[in-house]
Structure 1
Amino acid sequence: MKINPWLFFCSLLLLPYHLRAQTAQAVKQIEELTTTNYPQWDALYKYLHQNPELSLQEEKSAARMASELKKLGFEVKEKIGGHGVAGIYKNGTGPTVLIRADMDALPLEEKTGLPYASKARGINAAGNEVNVMHACGHDIHMTVFVGTAQALIKTKDAWKGTLVMIAQPAEENGLGADRMLKDGLFDFAPVPDYAIALHDNSYLPAGTIGFREGPLMASVDMMDIQVFGQGGHGAAPHTTIDPVVLSAEMILAFQTIVSRTLNPIDPAVVTVGSIHGGTVHNIIPDDVKLQLTLRSYSPEVRQKTIESIRRISENYAQAAGLPADKMPVISIREPMTPATVNDPALTRRIMGLFRSTFGEKNVTEVDPYMVGEDFSRFALENSRVPICMFWLGTLAPETIQKAKEKGEQLPSLHSSLFAPVPEPTIKTGVKAMSVAALNLFGK
């Protein structure tokens, strides 16, 4: 068959305009979908909010995510690394884009007073019955996840490639992504060209987005220290080596690591979050257990922090007169959570798109946070997969203004009072994730 060169040349010239028109039509469809589908998203959000599940126990949440993906025609695999879910939708030849949401909740009693507040109870890792709440907004994440899947299937004529949707368990304890990867996630799903995610933000107004190129969230280590002593009667402390006093001295000394040992321009956090020792008023115990969280952005700072804790612990124990066999026992939970570092080029691309979609004033550059997120693991070894996570605003502007006027702190993530405004938050999240994916499918 002979092809007219002139017609072929003209078709090539017109192709970009055709693709732009397709994309514009798809964005319009997504906008319409955020209105027509919002009632079902609202119902889904409130169901998830009222039925939170602790880390590694996300059975119902995972089943719901899998069900929603199957209804849309995804090839779905469940129980990856626990309750992990992966959905694949192949739509011709093109890039592979991974979208991830997390599912687990926290052991907190909700105090928001909302009509759909959680009253759920669960059993924690220690075997204790606890209240359970979505205080980190993973219910928002899951709802946006489902809405985004619906939007991208609705607009599938406007993109080519493979969409991979990941519903991840156990983000809060830092184990979920690692377990999914070790359980063969990428034996089932293709390794993506891009991986994107969002996290709701307890300080930004609903309808807005926060971003940062490069380091966004810190690495996380969980450390346990058992401090030994020589117990005895509380009325005869001179016959003992008091591990409570020794622990107190160590805790105070730990505070100098960030202020005096590390370079002041290198961010780091050393927090002692739990102290347990003793049984009654008048007995000096034989040991005290401490639980710490360590945060940093560089491997060098992380290592120096750990070495400083070991040095301080052993030196204080020696100064207290303890023998070599009673030096503090220090253990660091594996795996640690690496820092979340956004790929600069990918982040610039997506944020440029968001500025044109939502307006300059609604897309804000933010400082790095010292919280952690195991989405970082989807970058794989040597950061070979470009990743981008952005912040999604959740609060009514008047709530923020009222807090400023009164000089009050807004409830943070992990607060029993954290209460996102559902509609503008979910709609913005769905639109943002959907247009970002459309853009990435366009290479």
Structure 2
Amino acid sequence: MASTSGKPETPYERKSEMRQTVDNQAGAADSSDHQARKKTRMVELKNATLPEELIQSEIFPRLAAKYILRCRLVCKSWNSLLSTPAFVNSHLTYQLHNNSDENDRIIARTMYGFYEQVDINSHTDSIRVRTVPCASNTLFGSIDGLIAMVSTQGKRLCLWNLAIGQIKLFDFPPLDGHYAGGFCWDHVHNDYKVLMFCYDPMLSPARRICMYSTNSATWASLCIPQNLVFPSMSPCPSTIVKGTPYWTTYLKPLTLPGQKCSILKFVPEINELRILPDFDPLKFRVNIFDIANIKDCLVGMAYKLNEHGGTNTMVDMYCLDDEDSNSGIWSKMYSIGPVYLDSHQWPSQAFRNGGEILIRGPSDPFAFYDPETKEIKRIAGTTSPSTSLTDLGRQCYSYTPSLVRVRGMESLQNFSTKGELKPVAFFTRNFP
């Protein structure tokens, strides 16, 4: 082969040219091998799957309830897996112990125009949902994503899982009289129970409790011991802690000499009603006392209002050292504030994980007091209804979306088909 200069190639030049040719061929082969290896890796990644056990135990329980519902539509095997009681329980356990704001919400009854509604409040926003029309007068509890409501006019009760769009309607027990509601969870038998107190405040204290078991779908009657006498109480629990409902006397200034605030609780595992040690307002120099669920503990909130109007008030937080003993003592833990409070604006409930106190008042936006920043932050898009302080103050509970169902629950669409829910449209705008 002639050189570019027209002179014969030397042995050295021929050797260099051969080496270059070999190198070019080797480079082309390497490039081809690289492309082949890359293509192989892409195929492997495309076909790669996570271990089924990892998906079931670590990924699915972390998903919000709305995403689990979508996953159930992927295939039959996923639908079967994600519908088992074992998975529903593991998902609930993770959601309750996950401290994210998404799982720490407060549900409160509201009323706008002629429609009963509930607000699902987070730290940043609120979702308004139309309630079940035939059982929607009173919100009296929320446990594990189940919402308990009652219609005193229609004498019907409702357990409603808003996240999965299923409800259970059932009638009052066949008794006459005045009824107060309670909602609880028996963790021993995994049984959600509804309580109705046979109570006529004009005649005598309640002497009987009617208890509905969701496991058996039947009512049972429990007698209240003769030596257990308790004062008039709110028709709704003041708060619910770990499935146990607590009631206090009506929220009002405790100004009468010697008057104490009594607290009642129902122990669902043994179906027993108990009165806790009284809180003595005179001893602590306060005239308002109420209770809340803070970090899954019963906490008392005590403060003193000025007789001539609202003022910046310090709210003292108390814990009860022994609920199971008559000798238990309320001990002060810390104080929050100052917070502007009056007879129309008061601390109502608390976010369960962080302990931020919800501040409510008729016709005012919901707000919460952050004990870390000592600031009151309003929740966008909320307005409390113009109603009585007693009704408004009680219908407010911790709420965590879940997949929990109880016996006899049906889809809302089924009830619409039957004609029971036609008057009202249901919606869950951007529900978490």
The TM-score bracket by the shorter chain reads under 0.3
| Larger helix proportion of the pair | 1
Q: Which has the larger radius of gyration?
A: 2
Bigger RCO (CA 8 Å, 6+ sep): 1
Q: More strand per residue: 1 or 2?
A: 2
Q: Under a length normalisation based on structure 1, what TM-score does the superposition of the two structures give?
A: 0.22
